[in-house]
A and B are shown apart, each in its own frame.
Chain A
């Protein structure tokens, strides 16, 4: 029998080298490719449906100062409106269909059906509600003369065009005058200088809502008129310098976007993805996060960046007067009110870290006639939870984590009827029962509830309420947005309160951890013991073994 012994040939060896190299490339090439993708990611991001300012023709197409109708003196503001409508016919009908005009719209509330909902009839936990105090509240209405229920919503002459379209910065509505402008305003000058609404136009109401700058939103306030990049990347005056209506796109005076303080359905929303697409990041892991996390969550890490916003409002302490019996105010260390006789105690805060909630685009509202069941009362309930990731019939979408400003209040309610109370707050004179003049809760409540046609038992107290304001503005530069560890961390992460899902880096199963660590420790102890024995016995047994 013949045996052969095979040796490795040269060719064989070459083949092996090639395979080995190939394996190397395939295995580690991975990381080189990945590295390349990463370096691309900072270059640019996709933008759709948007023309950059530098690519636009910003010349106005018309010069309003040349129109004769605007040069004739106006007897009053109504005449100014009619002058506008003489050219811009049919625009009044558009206005009359908007919630800016009606202060209400039909909203489907879960369990309550379709109800008219808006500033006209809803309560909040700031100044409570407009009903009975219209004459001062309607300073922020786009009309003239809404001082009580008798206001004619069908009269085109009541529309205030210029509060939104004035470009001079001189137009100003008077306080307590139901929306009429100050006497000092030169209406012709204003009328001849109109244009697309600027940030000042929107801001005069949306920055000052609730009786002061940044009281309500926390992410909308006067610093946004001329913000730097750190305040808001979109509105940065040295950057893209976008106005409100760039995002709140408007057709026939219907503005896209709304706030869940007053609305409840998942419709007409202005979204980041309108321009930024659904895949704005180069990094796929970041894009995957968007399945369950709103853009705002990472990109609005803090709000009230320049000026403080109101976080707590306690009405129950209102009514304390100074030694002369006059209303007074007290300020905190930063110059913000923390007490007003007419309104009670406040807590302001700036650079606030939002609270986070699941939100599916639908919400509910506590209506004035509704019985109080749970305390604190949720003035508006944001719906959503981790588990609902399927589109639903009611139009709700997949729940995402949203940053929310929560405003906590303590406001008046009827202890017998178990309802919130709409007190009459404002009147031009003392003695008309307005709380802000007479400081009598009982009287203000009786008159207020009578005005809205609801019963008042005569006994009242104060109850805790919460209001939820999803944040959308003050978008931070990318390098200030949330980092992984802001949420993916064991303790005190941003998502610490959202415990209905497994979050890597935060969550663990104690049984798995204990078992795993025990296993590891047991093996280490076992090894230590074994090694010790090896050294110990080897010395002793050596002799016997060598024999």
Chain B
């Protein structure tokens, strides 16, 4: 059994900060909506607004990070393996079948995750953000535009929160479907995801193909690191032949030309 470093420090920080914020927003939001009564209305409004602004700042950081690290590509929806993934959740999982989509540093999301997170990031959260800001500044006319009624904004914002709540519930369940019940959770805490031994070579090969042999291995523990390094180098040598044969595209070619 091996571990692969999937989630970088900022990524984990972003994930957990977002978790706290979304949960806080949902809790306080439903109080503002009149559904619940926990903190008191005034406190809820204050906390909701402060959290909303914090969330906005976090989003700015996250967008920056996603762009500069090319991580945004991970979230582009694909139909490849979609069917396999659905079949896995509907059938395979009950038969202890292997996960159809392997987690890779450069492709850590399965197609179902991709489409869900993509929807979250470009549709639901931005919608919540925009409706939330309109809600917040409803009383001020911005650029002489004055919204006549809060109704639609409120409805959309409310429905969005139900979607987020549903996502939260399903997400919490699906993270138990990893290698073990808690392996996905601990990966998001430590960054290291457990993968099967035989996957590791495959994994490195793909990584090299994708990046054109520029690979970063990040690991604090030296002995672990040495082992990993051996594997990586071994994989690289094996891949060398493949690369020559197949003349793989991408940065590899560019690098080669430079050299």
Asked if B33 contacts A291 (CB within 8 A), the reply is no
Q: Give residues 476-506 of A contacting B (CB, 8 Å).
A: 483-485, 488-490, 501-502, 504-506
A288 to B95, CA, bound (A): 59
Asked if B46 contacts A505 (CB within 8 A), the reply is no
Q: Give residues 47-96 of B contacting A (CB, 8 Å).
A: 49-51, 53-54, 57-58, 61, 89, 93-96
| Set of chain A residues within 8 Å of B135, measured between Cβ atoms | 504
User: A31 in the interface, Cβ–Cβ < 8 Å?
Assistant: yes
**Interface residue stretch chosen among B105-113, B121-129, B160-168, B189-197:** B160-168
Beyond A484-B41, A534-B93, whether A520 also contacts B10 by CB under 8 A is no
Asked if A520 contacts B169 (CB within 8 A), the reply is yes
Asked if A502 contacts B61 (CB within 8 A), the reply is no
A489 to B215, CA, bound (A): 57
A132 to B50, CA, bound (A): 65
**Interface residue stretch chosen among A5-13, A60-68, A246-254, A299-307:** A5-13
User: A523 in the interface, Cβ–Cβ < 8 Å?
Assistant: yes
**Interface residues of A: mostly helix, strand, loop or mixed?**
helix
**How many residues on chain B are close to A (CB under 8 Å)?**
58
| Set of chain B residues within 8 Å of A31, measured between Cβ atoms | 50-51, 54
Asked if A501 contacts B150 (CB within 8 A), the reply is yes
| Set of chain A residues within 8 Å of B218, measured between Cβ atoms | 7-8
Asked if B53 contacts A516 (CB within 8 A), the reply is no
Asked if A515 contacts B162 (CB within 8 A), the reply is yes
| Set of chain A residues within 8 Å of B206, measured between Cβ atoms | none
| Set of chain A residues within 8 Å of B148, measured between Cβ atoms | 387
Asked if A490 contacts B34 (CB within 8 A), the reply is yes
Q: Give residues 198-248 of B contacting A (CB, 8 Å).
A: 213-218, 229, 232-233, 236, 240
Asked if B95 contacts A512 (CB within 8 A), the reply is no
Asked if A5 contacts B217 (CB within 8 A), the reply is yes
User: In whole Å, how far is B217's beta carbon from the nearest beta carbon of chain A?
Assistant: 6
Beyond A26-B57, A30-B50, A509-B155, whether A541 also contacts B140 by CB under 8 A is no
**Interface residue stretch chosen among A201-209, A333-341, A456-464, A525-533:** A525-533
A501 to B147, CA, bound (A): 12
Asked if A38 contacts B46 (CB within 8 A), the reply is yes
> Please, what's the 1-or-0 string for B116-137, where 1 marks a CB less than 8 Å from any CB in chain A?
0000000000000000000100
| Set of chain A residues within 8 Å of B53, measured between Cβ atoms | 30
Beyond A291-B139, A516-B162, whether A483 also contacts B41 by CB under 8 A is yes
A536 to B93, CA, bound (A): 11
Asked if B158 contacts A6 (CB within 8 A), the reply is no
| Set of chain A residues within 8 Å of B89, measured between Cβ atoms | 530
* Contacts from B to A (Cβ < 8 Å): 9-10, 13, 17, 32-34, 40-42, 45-46, 49-51, 53-54, 57-58, 61, 89, 93-97, 135, 139-140, 146, 148-151, 154-155, 158-159, 161-163, 165-166, 169-170, 173, 177, 213-218, 229, 232-233, 236, 240
A27-B54, A31-B50 provided; 12 other pairs, C-beta below 8 A?
Answer: A5-B216, A5-B217, A16-B10, A20-B13, A26-B57, A26-B61, A34-B46, A502-B149, A502-B154, A516-B158, A530-B89, A534-B94
* Contacts from A to B (Cβ < 8 Å): 1, 3, 5-8, 16, 19-20, 23-24, 26-28, 30-31, 34, 38, 285, 288-289, 291-292, 387, 389, 483-485, 488-490, 501-502, 504-509, 512-513, 515-517, 519-520, 523-524, 527, 530-531, 533-534, 536-538, 541-542, 544-545
